[in-house]
Every structure is written in C-alpha cells, then in structure tokens.
Amino acid sequence: MNKLFWFPTPIEAGADMTLTPDPLENGTVFPPIPSQPDVHSTGRVGVSFTIPANVPTSRGAALLTPGYVPETMRGILILSGVESYLLVDDVHYVKKGGNLPRLVANGRFIAQDIP
C-alpha cells in the first residue's frame, strides 16, 4: 500500500475527490480511489488516497474534483521513493482532435458516417 497526500484549496474541495490510475496494457482496470480526510506528518491538513499495492509506479492517473475547476487533473503517479506524489502536467497525454465522423440522416434516426 502507498499513500498519496493532496492539499486542495479550498480544503472542502477534497471531500469528494477520487484518484483513478490509468488502465494497464494487459487490461487491468483500477477503480477510482476515494479521498479520505488526513493530516500529514508535518501537521498540514489535507486528504489522502490509499493506493493498492498492484498499482505500478510512474503511470498516468486522473484526479477528479467534482464541482471545482479544474475538475480533472492528469498526472504521473510516482509511488517509489520516500513519499508518493502526483506529477501533474502529464505531457504524455493528448486527445485526438479535429475529425469526428459526419452525421447523416438514417431514415427517422441519425448515424455516423464511418469511413
């Protein structure tokens, strides 16, 4: 088990946060990990996420904060070393942009015109 601390501002934003590690290439999917109120050893109040042992280090993860902006932050989850942390600004993650299939009428319904 690893523990990741997070210190949201405002602190109440941490109440419903979840951390979801990205799926692995072998098909393993990790369920969202809920936050829990916690106090860091330094005395700083925040939330923590208890990360199962089967989550590997140095993989992508999404941190969801419902109702706050940014609602989703992506980062790389570092689980080795003295303390776990989420390296945000995940430059490896991009979205495919620009080209969705055109929509066409299909009788009384709609279809995507897939090439």
List interacting residues with another protein (CB under 8 A): 66-67, 69-72, 95-115
Tally of CB atoms within 10 A around 13: 17
Query: Minimum distance from CB of 53 to another protein (Å)?
Result: 28
| Coil/strand/helix, residue 12 | helix
Query: Minimum distance from CB of 67 to another protein (Å)?
Result: 5
Angle, CA 68 vertex, CA 13 and CA 82 arms, to 5°? 55
Q: Are 78 and 51 in contact (CB under 8 A)?
A: no
For tokens 């523990």, the residue is: 3
Nearer to another protein, 2 or 20 (CB): 20
For tokens 């990360």, the residue is: 51
Nearer to another protein, 43 or 67 (CB): 67
What pairing do the DSSP bridges indicate for beta strands 59-64 and 85-88? unpaired
Nearer to another protein, 81 or 97 (CB): 97
Query: Minimum distance from CB of 51 to another protein (Å)?
Result: 22
Nearer to another protein, 39 or 103 (CB): 103
Query: Minimum distance from CB of 66 to another protein (Å)?
Result: 7
